Structure 1
Amino acid sequence: MNNRICLNDLVERCAQSPHLPAYESGGWGLSYGQLLTRARVLAAALGQLWPGEGPILLYGHKQPALPVGMLACLLAGRAYVPCDEGWPAARVETVFRQAGAAALLFADEAPAPWPEELPTAPLWPMCEPGIIEPLAAPRPCSPEQTAYILFSSGSTGRPKGIPVPRRALANFARWITARPALTLAPGETVVGQAGFSFDLSLTDLTLAFCGQGRLVSLSREELADPALLFRQLSASGAAVLVCTPTFLELCLCDKNFSPALMPKLRAVFCCGEVLPRPAAEKFLSRFPGAALLNAYGPTEAACAVCAVNAADALATFADGPLPVGLVEQAAVEIAALGPKGELLAEGEPGELALRGESVFSGYLPGSGDARFSGGWYRTGDSGFVKGGHVWCTGRLDDQLKYCGWRIEPGEVEAALHALPGVERAAVLPQRSPDGRVRRLCAFLQAAQSARLPEEEVRRLLAQRLPAYMLPGRLFWLDELPVTENGKCDRAQLAREFLL
């Protein structure tokens, strides 16, 4: 598919509905006319100020300037790199250098402290119409050119850069907008929970902008205050909600989360982690007639590649975990592979693997090597395919999922090792009865010097890691237990402290 044609279609839709609301968050908003006009101005400015194809970091949270920046980068043929303003400045700098970025554009304030030699500029003034001649048409791009780069936790001790090509973004857009329950009429509203550095946000952005819909992106303040949250959910008039299962469960804890609060809600799209069967049952009983889609997909394959209607799954499978997708309706080919890359028989557990337009081609240099086998991308997720359905049953490595975020314990351990007085460190998850991660626990062995106070450990860690990667509990031990091979005995730590 010609990805320029796909982008031209999006631009044409924006131009056809200049007065329709496009985006709202935190009391600020944009119409489609404002979104397109400002994106064209910014796209032209990028080429003049920073010629070439270097990626552009977009730093903020959910300010309207950020979707303007994303669209501008796509128009200008540049990859965008969303960085949340809640990240420590040191992490943003690491991401900047790993991505080989040309500049950092910020919504409100630049990260501090920030090296003077790395260029920064405010997003909003650069978008002002009249300052520069707007870019007339999207620049031609190869389908293999990078559309955006997301950074997840890395097992090497630093963030892992995941470049997603334009063909993958176009394929995701085709797939997600073809889901009948999610299709928006012009002017309808989709509510999004995720920040832009979390790939789940790609779903609500795509649904809204491809359907001339209105995206209401929940602010940090609304997500932290149940009263504000429910007030916004009620006022939004949402037809579609895009969220993690954890967020849906939190909403369901309040009996006010019901059709009386959201009378127009007809579909919820859940992705990023396991959707528990009880949560699906509770939602469907609370919102009879609404569709609940349980989806699956790694960041390396443009957000999501398959989904299943939870009501159908509950009716088909009387007990056990819910499937995460239907093979025939997936955006890519899906299979379970054995240790040597062999295709496994139906129902046989193995490693989930993907092949097709949505799959990326590899990580940024220094971020590790992607595992491909016979054209299949090996996800690291365990699972199986049976009866046309896909199940994801966990991980085959140490990677953890917490509230939808991917966390490599090795990166948290590396940050702990860098603290003064820490000789050894181990990070383990504390899990709820259904197997999901409740919080991270850090086990520290002190060197000769005195142990750091817990509050000091947390303060120093917060200078290196985003909040979702910070351990919820800290244990100072005289010695960490070891196995016969001299490695940390994580099983013993789990038995003694976490069970």
Structure 2
Amino acid sequence: MKDIIYSLIENEKHYPDQIAVKHNEDVLTYRELNRYADALAYFIKDSYKPLIVYGHMSPFMIVGMIASIKAGCGYVPLDISMPEDRIKSIIKKIEPEYIWNTTETQLDLNHAHILDTNIFNEVDIPNRFESQINGSDIAYTIFTSGSTGEPKGVQIRYDSLNEFTQWMIDLNKIGENQQWLNQAPFSFDLSVMAIYPCLATGGTLNLVDKTMISKPKLLNDMLLQAKINVWVSTPSFMEMCLMLPDLSEEHYESLKEFFFCGEILPHKTAKMLLQRFPSAYIYNTYGPTEATVAVTSILITEAVINQYNPLPVGKVRPGTQLTLAENEELVISGQCVSEGYVKDEQRSKAVFKDIKQRRAYYTGDKATVNDDLWFITGRIDFQVKLNGYRMELEEIEFHLRQIDVVKEAIVVPIYKSGKVTQLQGVVVLNQSNDDNERQTLIHDIKQELKQTMPEYMIPRKIIFRDQFPLTINGKLDRKQIAEDILT
């Protein structure tokens, strides 16, 4: 199995001057990445608390991650786009000894040990810092949203991270020394899918920041200049990029591989991408943060597109087992499963169990298996009851997306006194229409839904939007969509 730290040392020997991490004009070679990480690891080597890594797409955030792994304490990534109260809440829970600030902004956190890159002028850099991490040590802790409003800190062990990295390397069809694109902020575990497989194979990690996301021309320029080979993002981010008229194999001939995770990959999106990049490898993957990023994958081919709608999430990766509970809830077991939520015994006990001496996680996702392929069919908590009928919101969204004029769709339940009183469908069309046509469209959409669904499942209102907002992680922002229609 690949060991990430050993791989970085080997890459420094073989490719010392190759760029390891790049963000705009800020770059670090493999020699610089290792040297800086060794120096920071030496500085924090006696810490037993995770290193807080703060910033946004700075190559020095990667330095902090590698240093903390070498030091054996692990890290907690925090992005500048996170609300201040959330950042303070996480820091209070972690009680870090050190905070690694990669921004030029002074942090007002009343913390004694806030470090920045000036420490490299203050400490003697050792020739080589010997890694102190063990396989069972926590490599990183990523905080995800909790249903109670309090974020949950998901702890991932180093051996789980190495196992995941090896699986990604095995999936990769185009070999080492590639140009990788990372869209996700480091506080979102999708970034792990790009960071470690890239660095373990001597690649260059190209970082997409929030400015590039809001200005597609900047993203287009980066794609052309970097000659990206491997793309890692959410499906929603790809849907936004597919609006770039030149995003095709003809204009981006270097783009050979795509990995998607974090959301459902819509059939229409996959079909369009395959049409534009017919010779590329396109992977649909699935997994919760609690199971080290992803646990299943499938290579999307024309045969898969023609046979399945919705698309499967594929086959389980080695060393991992998937089973179904009585309520069709997907249960993941194996080394990939998290150690649990940091300092949160109650919520950990609710979803982490031991099954036949294997660590298991109850995902909250509903699933089924057909043709030896796994399908995610919805969320247990996306089920609502309306007029006595129990229904799945994602089933309605699926049928909306099958309508030719519909590009994307979200179904929002409207509550009154804690009870669902109606459903509203929020839709993005494939092409713009004027207001006079929209009443006709609403009628046509509802008529098409009647062909596939009972009357009680059809949204009472259909609302049109030019585009959907994305969260800072690049996912569809369901909460914002719901708030917009209620105001």
| Paired position in structure 1 for 2:241 | 251
Q: Deviation per CA, 1:41-69, whole angstroms, max 9, x where unpaired?
A: 1111113xxx3311110110101110011
The 5 Å alignment of 1:280-319 reads 280-311=270-301, 314=304, 318-319=307-308
| Paired position in structure 2 for 1:338 | 326
Q: Deviation per CA, 1:341-380, whole angstroms, max 9, x where unpaired?
A: xxxxxxxxx1111111111121112372233262432111
Q: Given the alignment, which residue of 22, 28, 31 partners 1:30? A: 28
AA aligned opposite 2:159: R
The alpha-carbon deviation at position 37 of structure 1 amounts to: 0.6
AA aligned opposite 1:292: I
Matches of 1:313 and 1:358 in 2, distance apart?
Answer: 30
Contact 1:267 1:290 in 2 (8 A): yes
The alpha-carbon deviation at position 164 of structure 1 amounts to: 0.6
Matches of 2:40 and 2:28 in 1, distance apart?
Answer: 15
Q: Deviation per CA, 1:182-238, whole angstroms, max 9, x where unpaired?
A: x5422x201111110111111111121011011111122111101111111111101
AA aligned opposite 1:89: E
**2:362 counterpart of 1:378:** yes
The alpha-carbon deviation at position 273 of structure 1 amounts to: 0.3
Matches of 2:322 and 2:11 in 1, distance apart?
Answer: 33
The alpha-carbon deviation at position 251 of structure 1 amounts to: 1.4
Q: Structure 2 length as normaliser, TM-score?
A: 0.77
The 5 Å alignment of 1:66-81 reads 66-81=61-76
**2:314 counterpart of 1:325:** yes
**2:345 counterpart of 1:356:** no
Q: Given the alignment, which residue of 29, 37, 40 partners 1:39? A: 37
The 5 Å alignment of 1:232-247 reads 232-247=222-237
| Paired position in structure 2 for 1:163 | 155
Matches of 1:6 and 1:67 in 2, distance apart?
Answer: 13
AA aligned opposite 1:97: K
Give secondary structure in 2 for the equivalent of 1:397. helix
Give secondary structure in 1 for the equivalent of 2:180. strand
| Paired position in structure 2 for 1:87 | 82
| Paired position in structure 1 for 2:451 | none
| Paired position in structure 1 for 2:176 | 185
**2:197 counterpart of 1:207:** yes
| Paired position in structure 2 for 1:146 | 138
| Paired position in structure 1 for 2:372 | 388
Contact 2:51 2:97 in 1 (8 A): yes
Matches of 1:28 and 1:398 in 2, distance apart?
Answer: 42
AA aligned opposite 1:363: Y
**Structure 2 gaps, min length 5:** 384-392, 403-407, 418-471
CA RMSD after TM alignment: 3.0
Contact 2:7 2:201 in 1 (8 A): no
Distance 1:55 1:84, change over 3 A: same
Contact 2:292 2:337 in 1 (8 A): yes
Matches of 1:53 and 1:440 in 2, distance apart?
Answer: 45
Matches of 2:123 and 2:141 in 1, distance apart?
Answer: 29
Contact 1:109 1:122 in 2 (8 A): no
Distance 1:319 1:466, change over 3 A: closer
Contact 1:200 1:243 in 2 (8 A): yes
The alpha-carbon deviation at position 33 of structure 1 amounts to: 0.8
| Paired position in structure 2 for 1:419 | none
| Paired position in structure 1 for 2:8 | 10
Q: Given the alignment, which residue of 94, 114, 122 partners 1:121? A: 114
Contact 1:191 1:204 in 2 (8 A): yes
Q: Given the alignment, which residue of 333, 344, 347 partners 1:366? A: 344
The alpha-carbon deviation at position 320 of structure 1 amounts to: 2.0
Percent identity of paired positions between Structure 1 and Structure 2? 28
Contact 2:139 2:158 in 1 (8 A): yes
Contact 2:8 2:30 in 1 (8 A): no
AA aligned opposite 1:133: I
User: Structure with the greater relative contact order (CA < 8 A, sep ≥ 6): 1 or 2?
Assistant: 1
**2:160 counterpart of 1:172:** no
Contact 2:216 2:244 in 1 (8 A): no
The alpha-carbon deviation at position 87 of structure 1 amounts to: 1.4
**2:52 counterpart of 1:62:** no
The alpha-carbon deviation at position 397 of structure 1 amounts to: 2.1
Q: Deviation per CA, 1:386-409, whole angstroms, max 9, x where unpaired?
A: 22211111211259xxxxxxxxxx
Matches of 1:291 and 1:272 in 2, distance apart?
Answer: 18
Matches of 1:323 and 1:466 in 2, distance apart?
Answer: 23
Matches of 1:393 and 1:58 in 2, distance apart?
Answer: 36
The alpha-carbon deviation at position 133 of structure 1 amounts to: 3.4
Matches of 2:190 and 2:274 in 1, distance apart?
Answer: 22
Distance 1:466 1:302, change over 3 A: closer
Contact 1:184 1:207 in 2 (8 A): no
Distance 1:149 1:372, change over 3 A: same
Q: Given the alignment, which residue of 133, 139, 145 partners 2:125? A: 133
Matches of 1:388 and 1:66 in 2, distance apart?
Answer: 40
AA aligned opposite 2:352: R
Give secondary structure in 1 for the equivalent of 2:480. coil
Matches of 2:416 and 2:138 in 1, distance apart?
Answer: 40
Contact 1:43 1:134 in 2 (8 A): no
Distance 1:170 1:255, change over 3 A: same
Distance 1:112 1:136, change over 3 A: closer
The alpha-carbon deviation at position 286 of structure 1 amounts to: 0.8
AA aligned opposite 1:320: N
Contact 2:35 2:125 in 1 (8 A): no
AA aligned opposite 1:36: N
Matches of 1:189 and 1:219 in 2, distance apart?
Answer: 16
| Paired position in structure 2 for 1:480 | none
Q: Structure 1 length as normaliser, TM-score?
A: 0.75
Contact 1:15 1:36 in 2 (8 A): no
Give secondary structure in 2 for the equivalent of 1:173. helix
AA aligned opposite 1:392: I
The alpha-carbon deviation at position 441 of structure 1 amounts to: 9.1
Count of aligned pairs: 409
Distance 1:229 1:157, change over 3 A: same
Give secondary structure in 1 for the equivalent of 2:340. coil
Contact 1:194 1:200 in 2 (8 A): yes
Distance 1:59 1:469, change over 3 A: farther
Matches of 1:185 and 1:6 in 2, distance apart?
Answer: 14
Distance 1:33 1:332, change over 3 A: same
The alpha-carbon deviation at position 153 of structure 1 amounts to: 0.4
The alpha-carbon deviation at position 312 of structure 1 amounts to: 5.9
